[in-house]
Amino acid sequence: MLIVGAGLAGTATAIRLLRFARRPLEIVLLERRPDYRSAGVAYHREGNPWDHVFNIQAGRMSVFREDVLDFVRWANVEADRREWPARWARHEFAEQGPAPRRIFQDYLIDRLAEARREACPGVVLVEADGEAVDMEVRPTGVGVTVCRLSASGPGAGQGPHPCLLFAEHVVLATGLELREPPFASEVLTHPSFVRNPYSAAGVRKLVALPSEASVAIVGSVLSAYDSAGLLLRQGHTGRIHLVSRTGTMFRTYPADHEHGVLPLPCPRALLEPYRNRAEFVARVRSAWETACSTVARDHPGVHPAVIAERVAKAWEPYLPEAIERIPSAELRRLLDEFGTAIAAYRVGAVEYTMGVIERAMDPVAGPVRLVVGAVERITSAESGRLVVSVASAERRHTIEADLVVSNFGREWDYSRVGRPLWRNLLRRGIAVPHRRTGRGLEVDEHGTLLGPGGEPAGPVSAVGALREGDEFVRNGRTGAFAFNLASIKNQSIAVAARVVARLELREDGPAEDPRQFRGDVGDLAEEAVRGGFEEAVMLEVRRLATRTRRERELLDSRVDACIRSVDGRPAFPGNASSRDRLMRVAVNRAAVARLTDVSVTPRQLRRQLGIADAEEAGA
Phi, psi of 158 (to 5 degrees): -135, 145
Question: What's the pLDDT band for 410 if we cut at 50, 70, 90?
Answer: confident
| 230 Cβ neighbours under 8 A, 6+ residues apart | 49, 51, 52, 203, 206, 207
- Mean pLDDT confidence for 196-225: 92
- Mean pLDDT confidence for 583-588: 91
> What pLDDT, on a 0 to 100 scale, did the predictor assign at position 572?
44
| Sign of the C-alpha dihedral computed for residues 187, 192, 198 and 204 taken in this order | positive
Task: Report the relative pairing of strands 123-138 and 141-152 from DSSP bridges.
Answer: antiparallel
Contact 133, 420 (CB under 8 A): yes
Half-sphere exposure of 97 (CA within 13 A, CB side): 11
Predicted confidence (pLDDT) per residue in 149-176, tens digit: 776 544 444 555 789 999 999 999 999 9
Q: Which amino acid is at 431?
A: A
Answer yes or no: is pLDDT of 530 > 80: no
Question: What's the pLDDT band for 509 if we cut at 50, 70, 90?
Answer: low
- Mean pLDDT confidence for 519-525: 49
251 or 322: which leads in pLDDT: 322
